[in-house]
């Protein structure tokens, strides 16, 4: 009988790929969601409700939980700080408490935005000192601490930091990368003068690759049994493909055969008056995964978009 794996945020960009990856590799994936939940395929669970968390864990009896439900857009975090803290911190701690009481292995999906991203600091190793520059990063770092505190030295609670993600999306706005294709189309309009960041370095990573790595982490740690207490509690995964947002737009325009005169690359850096500050370079080192023998290969950004861009043609 297949072992159950519970995936929170299963209706989201990464969550959908996690469900597919675990189903394909012999697990029984059980997804949860809230606003977009569609029972019985995706269970509706309020992660801010302790009783609801206990209920789904007791019903699904997972061997593994992957917690990727979060408010993950910096601007939206600033617009709703209380709701962001409730989900990214409060719900994470409640889930970690409930899962740890049941000795369930948990992977907490975190972010490269826990680091300051100041020029010259990257790449960041797992033991680098976090210093988030915005509320999103602050709440995800607090979520990391909650998971590690609740699991203690058991080795059953692991943090996986990832950078900006892209992949198959229901709508472009699900991804800070996919949505740039909309900006490319807006730049085709007569008189367009769209300003696009050409300063911050990003390392777009495909959700299929993140899902594969999560499967490998789960298998590795669960197979280790008692020896898992000696395994790292914080891991990081990232593509090595590096772009600014403007460079991504240039690539999209090139693939589509579109001009880009209506877009202007902005090299002035993070606006000090912006509500959500963006770091310059938060490149994550994958050394900890490689030392575990986990494959850190990623799909080539350009090649993936060449295959997928047909969905964006008009």
Q: Which of 284, 247, 241 is nearest to 266 (CA)?
A: 247
Q: Please report, for residues 75, 197, 201, 282, 302, the alpha-carbon distance to residue 246 in angstroms, rounded to integers and kept in the order given.
A: 19, 6, 10, 17, 14
Gap between the Cα atoms of 100 and 57, Å rounded: 11
Gap between the Cα atoms of 211 and 234, Å rounded: 17
φ and ψ at 197, to 5 degrees?
-60, 125
For residue 203, indicate whether it is catalytic.
Answer: no
Rg of the chain (C-alpha set): 19
- The residue behind tokens 């996986």 is 160
Gap between the Cα atoms of 96 and 33, Å rounded: 17
Distance of alpha carbon 127 from the chain centroid: 19
> Considering 108, 113, 124, 136, which one is annotated as catalytic?
136
Q: Which two tokens stand for residue 110?
A: 């975190």
Q: Which two tokens stand for residue 56?
A: 């789904």
> Within the chain, what is the greatest distance between any pair of CA atoms?
64
Q: Which residues are catalytic?
A: 136
């Amino acid at each position: 009988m297949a072992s159950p794996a519970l995936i929170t945020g299963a209706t989201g960009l990464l969550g959908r790929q996690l469900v597919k990856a675990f189903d394909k590799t012999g697990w029984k994936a059980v997804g949860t969601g809230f606003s977009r939940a569609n029972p019985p395929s995706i269970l509706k669970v309020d992660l801010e409700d302790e009783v609801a968390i206990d209920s789904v864990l007791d019903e699904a009896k997972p061997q593994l939980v992957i917690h990727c439900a979060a408010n993950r857009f910096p601007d939206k975090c600033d617009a709703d700080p209380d709701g962001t803290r409730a989900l990214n911190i409060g719900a994470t701690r409640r889930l970690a408490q409930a899962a740890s009481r049941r000795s369930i292995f948990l992977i907490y999906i975190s972010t490269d935005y826990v680091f300051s991203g100041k020029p010259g600091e990257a790449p960041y190793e797992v033991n680098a000192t976090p210093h988030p520059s915005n509320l999103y990063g602050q709440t995800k770092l607090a979520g990391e601490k909650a998971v590690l505190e609740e699991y203690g030295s058991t080795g059953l609670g692991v943090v996986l930091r990832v950078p900006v993600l892209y992949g198959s999306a229901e709508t472009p706005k699900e991804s800070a990368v996919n949505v740039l294709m909309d900006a490319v189309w807006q730049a085709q309009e007569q008189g367009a003068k769209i300003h696009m960041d050409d300063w911050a370095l990003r390392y777009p990573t495909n959700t299929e690759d993140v899902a594969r790595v999560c499967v490998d982490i789960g298998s590795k740690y669960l197979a280790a049994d008692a020896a898992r207490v000696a395994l790292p509690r914080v891991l990081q995964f990232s593509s090595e493909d590096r772009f600014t947002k403007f460079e991504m737009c240039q690539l999209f325009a090139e693939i589509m055969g579109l001009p880009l005169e209506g877009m202007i690359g902005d090299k002035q850096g993070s606006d000090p008056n912006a509500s959500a500050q963006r770091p310059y370079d938060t490149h994550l080192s994958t050394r900890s995964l490689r030392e575990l023998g986990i494959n850190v290969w990623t799909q080539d950004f350009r090649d993936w978009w060449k295959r997928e861009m047909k969905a964006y043609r008009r």
